[in-house]
Amino acid sequence: MTTFTALPAGEPASIAVHPTRKLSPINPNIYSGFTEHMGRCIYGGLYDPANPNAHLIDSHGFRKDVIEAMQQLKVPVVRYPGGNFVATYHWLDGVGPREKRPRRPELAWAGVESNEIGTDEFMEWCEVVGTEPYLALNFGTGTLDEALAWLEYCNSSSDTYYANLRRQNGHDKPYNVKYWALGNECWGPWQVEQMTKEAYTSKAYRWAKALKLLDPTIQLILCGQDGTSSWDFHTLSTCLRPDVHALGGSATSSLIDMHSIHMYTASSDPVKNAIAPRAAERAIEICAGLIDLARIENGVLPSVPRQLICFDEWNVWDPSRAIGSEGAEEKYTLSDALAVAIWLNVFIRQSKYVGMANIAQSVNVISPLMTTETGLIKQTTWWPLLLFCKYMKGWTVATHVSCDVYEGPTEPAWLKGVGEVGWLDVSAAVDEEGWVSMCVVNAHLNEAQEMEVEGLSVKDGLVEVHEIGGKAWDVSNADGTQRVGIEERKWDAKGKFKFPAFSITMLRWKT
């Protein structure tokens, strides 16, 4: 958590960090990914067997450079197969001999799905990457029988039909998929079989009971909206309740383990774009309050672990600029990199409430990674993501920021009305080895911020400095030329530190 004091313009800013005050653990799953059958994410992203550059492709047809990038991030969980795609996806189409798999119309993104990649191939990819799968269930055209069959196929070790079908397809051991989503954005008018909140909660609760009767070890994620809506309130207040029968009398478990919320931010104005993710912070706080309210009103026992927020779609995305049905390939700028750093600062500050977060998406589609026929482009947004995945681990620590306030309009407009937005956005963490990492985003286009950093207690007298900036707010790496990256140096921790205008700076020191 970072507290904030607003200063009048012109007064010197300051940051105070308290590494000994550990506030809440940081769940590694906040650095998770998302792959959907959309655009070039799966075909041409994860899987590219027809690429003439054979050295880029492994024996399964997977892109080796994408796998290496995901391993570099140590991505803990990857959500699949959607997204909007899942509302017409039938998992049985994607198993068994490839030559017998049907080609289907794909309604979410106006395409055709070959089903060349399905459950077993995705599980193989996850194993190679070293990540866990997170599967979304079809709440559009799917049935409960179909969902139960998929769970049996993935997780059962019994001598039963779908477990034996998995064995017949060459996979003797169960995959033990832990995370399952009860649909995706079922509230949205773009969805196949959009639902009312009443219809959704009735269906979700019935499915949750059946799924946990089959496998009580799984974690189920409820479909929320953005954490601030009447949909979120209704689904939480209806579904977060005790159900002794469905849980075998357990007083330490729940049918619902997490609540999913989605948000994308974007603006054509570079500063509004950079600070827009602060809206996600308020959304998390509101949603956390709704979870508490539901537990209190429904008499959920304190022995049942508190449900967490699964922020399983987040990123910078302007759908008018990167059209979904055309592949949604964003070309990210330095401004977008600052926005991603603030997104990640939010997750660190709110680590008490966030059990998972999944950047949407992991490759090609609104992604920090873009494949070409000859290699991999790391967009501007890759670099803050890399810094956080490598270093922001352990526990959130108490931090206080004093600086002047951005006074302009915000996107969304309501952001300005629910709290002050400082020019500096800060989070800090300490890991098990005593390394403190503090990320500071200076969103001011023209003014550097020079200040004392209180709380530095440096063991060897040097602070690591990792800095991301550029010559202009709109510089991009999308053409393959790296104009934005990480510059590293050391600082002796003496005197004041200057945070450059419109930059991301991570300071690291050993206490």
Sorted by where each begins, the domain ranges of the chain are 2-21+398-510, 27-392
Q: Helix 382-391 to helix 64-73 angle, to the nearest 10 degrees?
A: 50
The token pair that represents 316 in the structure block: 């910078």
Query: Is this structure's pTM higher than 0.75?
Result: yes
pLDDT of 5 reads 92
pLDDT of 242 reads 87
Integer Cα distance of 462 and 492 in angstroms: 5
The token pair that represents 127 in the structure block: 């194993």
Integer Cα distance of 357 and 350 in angstroms: 11
> Are 359 and 35 contacting, i.e. CB atoms less than 8 angstroms apart?
no
Integer Cα distance of 403 and 386 in angstroms: 27
Which position among 36, 121, 313, 330 bears the catalytic label? 313
Query: Phi first, then psi: what are they for 495, rounded to 5°?
Result: 75, -155
Q: Which residues contact 385 (CB under 8 A, 6 or more apart)?
A: 31, 73, 340, 344, 359, 368
Integer Cα distance of 383 and 378 in angstroms: 8
SS3 at position 62: strand
What is the 8-class DSSP label of residue 486? -
Residue with tokens 């070293």: 130
CA-to-CA separations, 30 to 193, 343, 357, 476, in angstroms, rounded: 30, 11, 4, 26
Residues pairing with 258 in the sheet? 221, 308
Centroid of chain to Cα 243: 30
**What's domain 27-392's superfamily in CATH?**
Glycosidases (3.20.20.80)
The token pair that represents 94 in the structure block: 């994607």
Integer Cα distance of 285 and 396 in angstroms: 16
Residues pairing with 476 in the sheet? 333
Which position among 152, 185, 330, 411 bears the catalytic label? 185
List the strands of the sheet with 354-359, edge to edge: 33-34, 77-80, 132-136, 179-181, 219-223, 258-265, 308-316, 354-359
Identify the H or E element spanning 499.
Answer: strand 497-499
pLDDT of 245 reads 67
Residue with tokens 């049918």: 255
The mean pLDDT values, 10 residues at a time, for the chain of 511 residues are 88 94 98 98 98 97 98 98 97 97 95 97 98 98 98 98 98 98 97 96 97 96 98 98 76 93 98 98 98 97 96 96 94 98 98 98 98 98 98 98 95 93 97 97 96 85 94 97 97 94 97 86
What is the 8-class DSSP label of residue 473? T
pLDDT of 243 reads 78
Q: Which residues contact 8 (CB under 8 A, 6 or more apart)?
A: 404
> Are 343 and 314 contacting, i.e. CB atoms less than 8 angstroms apart?
yes
> Are 37 and 85 contacting, i.e. CB atoms less than 8 angstroms apart?
yes
CA-to-CA separations, 417 to 93, 162, 347, 407, 413, in angstroms, rounded: 48, 53, 21, 11, 8
- Strands (E) in 26-83, as ranges, are 33-34, 77-80
Integer Cα distance of 1 and 16 in angstroms: 12
The token pair that represents 263 in the structure block: 């948000």
Centroid of chain to Cα 293: 25
Residue with tokens 């995901």: 70
Integer Cα distance of 468 and 439 in angstroms: 11
**What's domain 2-21+398-510's superfamily in CATH?**
Golgi alpha-mannosidase II (2.60.40.1180)
pLDDT of 244 reads 65
Concerning whether 313 is annotated as a catalytic residue, the answer is yes
Selection from 35, 42, 135 nearest residue 91 by Cα: 135
pLDDT of 350 reads 98
> Are 15 and 412 contacting, i.e. CB atoms less than 8 angstroms apart?
no
Q: Which residues contact 208 (CB under 8 A, 6 or more apart)?
A: 182, 220, 239, 246, 255, 256
pLDDT of 250 reads 82
Residue with tokens 């429904």: 298
Longest Cα separation, the chain: 72
pLDDT of 474 reads 97
